[in-house]
Each structure stands twice: as structure tokens, then as C-alpha cells.
Amino acid sequence: MIGKSIIRPDAYEKVLGKALFPDDLELPDMLYAGVKRSTIAYGKIKYINIDEIKKLNGVIDVIDYSRIPGSTSHGVIFKDIPILVKDVVKRVGDCILLVIANNKKNLKEALEKVKIEYEEYKGVFSIEEAIQKDAPVIGEKNNILFSVEINKGNIDEGFKEAKFISVNTYKTQMTEHAFMQPESTIANYNAINNTLDLYIATQYPHYDREEVARCLNMKEENINVINMTIGGAFGAREDINPQCHAAIASYITKRPVKIIYSREESTISHSKRHLMKMYYKTAVKSNGRLCALKARIYADTGAYASWGINVIKKAAVHATGPYEIPNVDIKAYAVYTNNPFCGAMRGFGAAQVPIAYESQMDILAEKLNINPLVFRNINTFQCGSKTATGQILDKSVGIKECISKLASIDNIEL
């Protein structure tokens, strides 16, 4: 395939409009379901008008957490996200009530008439608030989901060798995936043989099967996931959304059930890219060689864990960038808040830290009065380099070649 133009296997179907997405399917006798979500970020549920909603025109059933057949929570690492909240909501968008209706119109009207009364709590909405000693605890024991340290050499000695030191704080924003196809799922439970077909566009069909089996208290081999055309994902379809709700609704009603998200619900419901705040102190010697880097990285993981552990690990590992630095001191933390939960998005933590370390490279190059490309070329990895984690790079290190080609465009002598 290398050096050739390869036609995507799904190109023709998508261009001709023949590709099937979950919402394209219509099964006989199908019902429609949706969830009522929390409108506050942190608080306790005091009252829901369930009995009133059950009497509305076209409503087939109304389901709360107590009627989930199996596990009441899910999650890619920790099972901490409630399928339906029992009492405490931790973010705007938590799922509280599952409503099933005979058509989309009646479903929409029923969801609009659900009334929920809360006892609202004081929440935390920034990293700074979350790490205070007296902050409300969003996690189990404190608001630190996970921390990681990377050390190499002697950081104090490294800074003593410095000609120049750059100290700065950088911040990246929380980011929405905004894929083209909002979430949609169809579940079809067969009571005769105790199996369930799940039609979904997902990045992790095996995880989905595991989670649905857990919530229905069924064997995984009885769950058949049909992965359909995916209209974009970028990481947000690694955490599940409507899968368990559609499965529960079909399991209880013994009929096929479809769930379709609006663009608004899609944005509210799924994970985001982590907001990060990064403190960097980077030192360089008079010969242009980097000699020390100290970094403190904080990631806002939101109300639930999702992939927060893996994301902050990646951020720490990539915190030095593609540069040889003999003395390194890195500490990185994933922090709970009452913000939308954050997880996978294109790069898993490696996408945020370049804002910090590349800005530091430009600042130090300017202090040394060296061209930024020349400065990078002095310090970049090459075959045989040792990273801050101790990995020896013995192959596939092409950054110097890349810099050389960039330099040749502007006739820069390296």
C-alpha cells in the first residue's frame, strides 16, 4: 500500500448514500426512548413526577435506577458513571429517568413534562477550586483521580547549569468532538432465546457488549453488537451513551427500541478533551543545550473518570516533547470537578502539552538569539537518545530529517 493511492472500502457507499447508520434502520413494532438529564451540576434528587409521566398519551413505560436488571453504572476504567442516577447528580447532563413512548412526538412531549426537584450542592468548576483542602469531594476520598511522576537526573543541578530559564503557565481549553453523526442506537431483545441485538455506531463494540451484558445481568455471548457506519468519533464513542438505555428499554418492553440524540443532547452527554493547566520551568545552557525541565500538569477530568488516568499518563510521558533533557521533574494530576466528564480525544493527553513545551522552545531560542529551527535541531531526539522515562529510541526517529527539510525551504543553515 505504501506509495499507492488506496480507495477507502466504504467510500462508494458513503458517497452514494447507501451506507447504513443506526438511525436508518426501522424495525417492526419499534418503540422510542430517551432520557431526562440533570439540569444542575451537583445536588441530590428529592422528587420526580414519575406517576404523572406514566399516564401521558403514548407513554409505554418510565424507568428509574431501581428497575435496571443488573449493574447500575458503567465506565471504561472505573464503573463510576450512573446509567440512571440513584440520588446524587455530579454534572449537567447526568441521566436520571428513561422514558419509553410509541412515537417520537409523544416521547418528546413526555420528556419535556418530567419535573425533577433537587437539593442543590455547592460544586467545583475549576482545577484551582478542586484541589483546595476544603473543596467539596467529587471523587471517592478526594478530588485527585490519579497522579504520576517522572524523574530523571538531578533537577537542582540542572538548573544551576542554566544560562537562561523560562517560567510560564499554559492552559488549553475543554474541547468538543462535534462529529457529524449524533448518537443513535437500536436494541432488540428476544425473550424466547434471551438474546439482544444492538445496532450501534461505536469505536469499541466489545466494550459495549460487556457493559450492556452487565446492566442486563446477561451473558456477554447473548449480546450481539452490530457495528454500523460511524459518522465520526475521534474518541467520544469510546465511552458508551445510549447503548444501555436502549438495551434496558427493549429488555423490559420485549420490543425493539430506538434512541436518537439531538445535536444538543450529543454535546451535553459525551466526553470532552481535557482542559489542562501546565506550569513549565525550562532551562538552557549557553551552548544551546537544554539542561532542565520542571513541569506541573493538571487535567480537569470532570465528574467521572472515563480515560482520565491514561490521558494524564500520556501528558506526563510527552511533557518533554521530542527533546533531549538530562534533568527532568514532572508531576501530573487528573482532577475531579463538576464539569462535563473528559476522556478520549485524538491524542490522549499528548495533544495538550505541545502548547507548553514548544512555546518554551521559542522563548529560549529568542533568549539565546538562535533561530528556532536551529535551536530545536540542537536538542531533538535522534537514534540512541534516551527519553525521560528511560526508553532508548533505537529506530524510527525522523525529527532531525524533518527539521532539515523545513530549514532548506528558508535557506536556514543548521
Q: Which of 104, 165, 125, 147 is nearest to 290 (CA)?
A: 165
Whole-number pLDDT of residue 9: 86
Instruction: Give a three-class secondary structure readout of 131-160.
Output: CCCCCCCCCCCCCEEEEEEEEECCHHHHHH
pLDDT-based confidence at residue 10 (cuts at 50, 70, 90)? confident
* Sequence-distant (≥ 6) Cβ neighbours of residue 310 within 8 angstroms: 77, 348, 349
Whole-number pLDDT of residue 139: 79
Tell me the chain's radius of gyration from C-alpha atoms.
25
Amino acid type, 159: F
CB 111 within 8 A of CB 103: no
C-alpha to C-alpha distances, 184 to 35, 91, 181, nearest whole angstrom:
13, 22, 8
Quick: pLDDT tens for 384-410. Answer: 999 999 999 999 999 999 999 999 998
Is the pLDDT reported for residue 50 higher than 90? Answer: yes
C-alpha to C-alpha distances, 75 to 51, 178, 234, 240, 287, nearest whole angstrom:
30, 21, 18, 8, 50
CA 119 – CA 130 distance, rounded (Å): 21
- The average pLDDT across 202-223 equals 96
Whole-number pLDDT of residue 341: 97
Cell of 366: 529568542
CA 175 – CA 408 distance, rounded (Å): 35
Classify residue 321 as left (phi > 0), alpha (psi -120 to 50) or beta: left
pLDDT-based confidence at residue 296 (cuts at 50, 70, 90)? very high
What value does the mean pLDDT of the chain take?
96
Measured from the Cβ of residue 412, the count of other Cβ atoms closer than 10 Å reads: 15
pLDDT-based confidence at residue 160 (cuts at 50, 70, 90)? very high
CA 334 – CA 316 distance, rounded (Å): 11
Q: Residue ranges of the domains in the chain?
A: 127-176+272-409
Of all residues in the chain, the percent with pLDDT exceeding 90 is 96
Cell of 317: 510521558
CA 202 – CA 403 distance, rounded (Å): 38
Whole-number pLDDT of residue 73: 97
Quick: pLDDT tens for 341-387. Answer: 999 999 999 999 999 999 999 999 999 999 999 999 999 999 999 99
Quick: pLDDT tens for 129-143. Answer: 999 999 999 977 899
User: What is the helix (H) or strand (E) element at residue 12, kind and residue range?
Assistant: helix 11-15
Q: Does domain 127-176+272-409 have CATH number 3.30.365.10?
A: yes
Measured from the Cβ of residue 171, the count of other Cβ atoms closer than 10 Å reads: 13
CB 248 within 8 A of CB 83: yes
Quick: pLDDT tens for 319-334. Answer: 999 999 999 999 999 9
Quick: pLDDT tens for 297-318. Answer: 999 999 999 999 999 999 999 9
Is the pLDDT reported for residue 2 higher than 90? Answer: no
Q: DSSP letter string over 112-131?
A: HH--EEEEE-----SHHHHT
Residue for grid cell 480525544: 345
Q: DSSP letter string over 295-322?
A: EEEEEEEETS-TTHHHHHHHHHHTTTTT
